A = this chain, B = another copy of it.
Amino acid sequence: MVSANARSAEQFWLVRNSSNSNAKVHMDNQQIILYAVPLSGVLALLYALFKASWVSKQDAGTEQMVVIAGHIADGAVAFLKREYKILAIFVLSVAVLLGFVNSGRPDSSPLISLSFIIGAICSGLAGYFGMKVATKANVRTTNAARTGLSSALNVAFSGGLVMGLSVVGLGVLGLSSLFIIYSNQFSDIGQVINVISGFSLGASSIALFARVGGGIYTKAADVGADLAGKVYEGIPEDDPRNPATIADNVGDNVGDVAGMGADLFESYVGAIIGTMVLGAAFLPVFNEMGINPIAGVILPLLLAAVGIVVSIFGSFFVKVKEGGNPQTGLNTGEFGATFIMAVLSYFIISYTLPASWIVGDTTYTALNVFFAVLTGLATGVLIGLITEYYCSTHNKPVVNIAYQSVTGAATNIIAGLGTGMMSTGLPIIVLSAAIILSFNFAGLYGIAIAAFGMLSVTGIQLAVDAYGPISDNAGGIAEMAGLPKEVRERTDKLDAVGNTTAAIGKGFAIGSAALTALALFAAFRQQAGITSIDISEPVIMAGLLLGAMLPFVFSALAMDAVGRAARDMITEVGRQFNEIPGLREGTAPAEFAHCVDISTKAALREMILPGLLGILVPVVVGFTSKDMLGGLLAGVTSSGVLMAIFQSNAGGAWDNAKKRIEGGIEFDGVLYGKGTEAHKAAVVGDTVGDPFKDTSGPSLNILMKLIAVVALVIAPLI
């Protein structure tokens, strides 16, 4: 109940106990530093701009390459524009509604609409910038790969870095500016935080639509292109003559780049806001102590600001010598940045927070807050390593799926589903330990800051993630433009090395999502004034069941959408091969635009229902009973984390089992490779895994936070 501890705006900035002049100086410094936070956001954006213009200046290669890349870029931008038009209507409607229900109330303000709109715009911009540069970087990576690996890595990673820095830059700039403005506007920190939580709501809702829409787009094209070859005789899969190929490459950009950007933007913002809300609980005690009362609130912003600088610094180490392994550079950059950030966190926390303080009968220390951050980092790394164990080509689970493919698609599917379900065990044990540990270190604030700890160097983490689809696209362009084999080999090498870092990134995404959802849950409980959410109460148990059901229904909607859209795609590909003379022989061009159109329309049509589900269900349940909403949050979090891990890992394992067979496996003395029945079975698994790992799975991380943020925003109203 933050609002019960209302303090005037002056109190934030003035020391009550003026006899303590050292504290005053310290606090004044903290205020000045707070004003420097938005500058770090500006720095990130300027550096992103610099990198973007550098990428643009690189040579895009042959005329054919430019034409192909142009198709991809046009398709991607066209999709994003249409998507944003629809989302604009949604954002404006919600903003009006938010403004209306929050006006004329003492504990909330219609300004929450402004936060919401700015959050949505920042999320959209981050996705747009990142994707715009990615669609330039792809072809330039291909061209660079014609001469060597080193410069190709440089172009691809620079493209990814623009996305990474756009996300953190817009996140920090938006959040910190709003915080400074609202702090001068409102007298109650509770109200400041309530109003600012609209920013997170904006980010989360855009993220859900972008992830689901992008995921449907990319998988409809991917699955459709792959299966067309099965259904109609003589249509080549994975071939430039296949009319769905351009749509497939567009999909990589709108799904894996723009969608992921919006996703991480919301994670980043959600984790910061979750920590800010819970940090407000220290306000009265800090005030008494003559310490900056909002030290706990601004700590995540300060960490984020330093994280930006560290990310940029880390990016300098991402290099590879000709003939060297690009993995080394990526590892040095990402793990180096993470390590430096961990060390710097100690100093930032010690500087910002008092050595120790007491709330109720709990003693907090700055050192323990730091330990909570370390707990978060360790959790992310561990979940990432476990993820890699279950999904990597060399380990037992994937090898087992490959062996099970020998007896056909059914055993391949059973093995993959089993692996995905089994792979939930260890991460959940790690996560449960992390919850208890970080709580013991620093209460709910500890859980929140542990979540943010994993995301403090999102700038470089996301750069590494986005580098993957750029390299993937570069390979596709090399193939379509008919470039020599070694070009494709180089881009494949680039694509492959991101695996470990990507797995760690996935671990951070899942771990931070779960902890952030918990932090937001706790924040909701505080704001709604609920003292206990007793799960043995029937109404709360009903909420728990309803919440646990949502990820299932949500996943079903996403998968059905992919299935339907893929079938439209297959039909269209078949039509073109039958109706366009010369297409089969490669003498006439395919009508790429039709396929792009099918994916675009399907994605836009099918993203609406699951997106609305995430927003409307908590509102309806919340206004029915706030206790039931508490149960709903617990249910959606627990079931969401599990379904996300299950689906992501099953998908990853199927994908690599297919690759494993392509590399050749021996079973009972027989060698199975590409083109064998075992390979065909593994392709079935891979196709099933596509919507699992790229559509429904990652969307669940957003869904559980979105529902928690919706609950937090409506908390004062129910």
Contacts and interface: CB of A to CB of B under 8 A. Distances in A.
A421 B542 contact: no
A418 B630 contact: no
Contact of A418 (B545, B548, B563, B637): B563
B549 A540 contact: no
Contact of A688 (B414, B546, B567): B414
A382 B15 CA distance: 64
Contacts of A557: 422
A398 to B, nearest CB: 14
A271 to B, nearest CB: 17
Given A545-B432, A549-B424, A559 B414 contact: yes
B538 A439 contact: yes
A548 B639 contact: yes
A476 B13 CA distance: 83
B418 A556 contact: yes
A428 B549 contact: yes
Interface in A556-578: 556-557, 559-560, 562-563, 566-567, 570
A372 to B, nearest CB: 12
Given A413-B413, A533-B535, A535-B535, A552 B646 contact: yes
A448 B377 CA distance: 45
B436 A555 contact: no
Contacts of A546: 428-429, 432
A548 B642 contact: yes
Contacts of A408: 227, 230-231, 684
Report copies per complex: 2
Contacts of A431: 542, 545
A631 interface: yes
B436 A684 contact: no
A638 interface: yes
A422 B550 CA distance: 9
A424 B533 CA distance: 25
A276 B398 CA distance: 49
A522 interface: yes
A88 B584 CA distance: 68
Nearest to A440: B538
A3 interface: no
A534 interface: yes
Interface in A509-545: 514, 518, 521-522, 525, 532-536, 538-545
A377 to B, nearest CB: 18
B425 A553 contact: yes
Interface in A40-76: none
A435 interface: yes
A408 B639 CA distance: 30
Nearest to A521: B536
A235 B683 CA distance: 25
Contacts of A552: 421-422, 424-425, 642, 646
A343 interface: no
Nearest to A438: B538
B436 A542 contact: yes
Interface in A406-463: 406-411, 413-415, 417-422, 424-425, 428-429, 431-433, 435-436, 439, 444, 447
A404 interface: yes
A544 B436 contact: no
Interface residues of A, number: 81
A687 B684 CA distance: 14
A634 B439 CA distance: 21
A221 interface: no
A165 to B, nearest CB: 34
A293 interface: no
B684 A413 contact: yes
B540 A535 contact: yes
A661 to B, nearest CB: 16
A215 interface: no
Interface in A573-592: none
A563 B684 contact: no
Contacts of A639: 548, 638-639, 642
A111 B532 CA distance: 38
Contacts of A555: 418, 421
A635 interface: yes
A202 B417 CA distance: 31
A22 B567 CA distance: 74
Contact of A410 (B227, B421, B422, B514): B227
A578 B566 CA distance: 42
6 interchain residue pairs of minimum CB distance: A410-B687, A432-B542, A422-B556, A421-B556, A439-B538, A428-B549
15 contacts: A223-B410, A227-B411, A408-B684, A411-B687, A413-B413, A418-B555, A421-B552, A422-B553, A422-B556, A432-B543, A433-B542, A518-B541, A535-B631, A536-B634, A545-B641
Given A404-B563, A413-B688, A548-B548, 15 more contacts: A410-B684, A413-B413, A415-B560, A418-B560, A421-B555, A422-B552, A422-B553, A425-B552, A435-B545, A532-B534, A534-B534, A536-B634, A544-B634, A638-B638, A638-B639
Interface of A: 223, 227, 230-231, 404, 406-411, 413-415, 417-422, 424-425, 428-429, 431-433, 435-436, 439, 444, 447, 514, 518, 521-522, 525, 532-536, 538-549, 552-553, 555-557, 559-560, 562-563, 566-567, 570, 630-631, 634-635, 637-639, 641-642, 646, 683-684, 687-688, 691
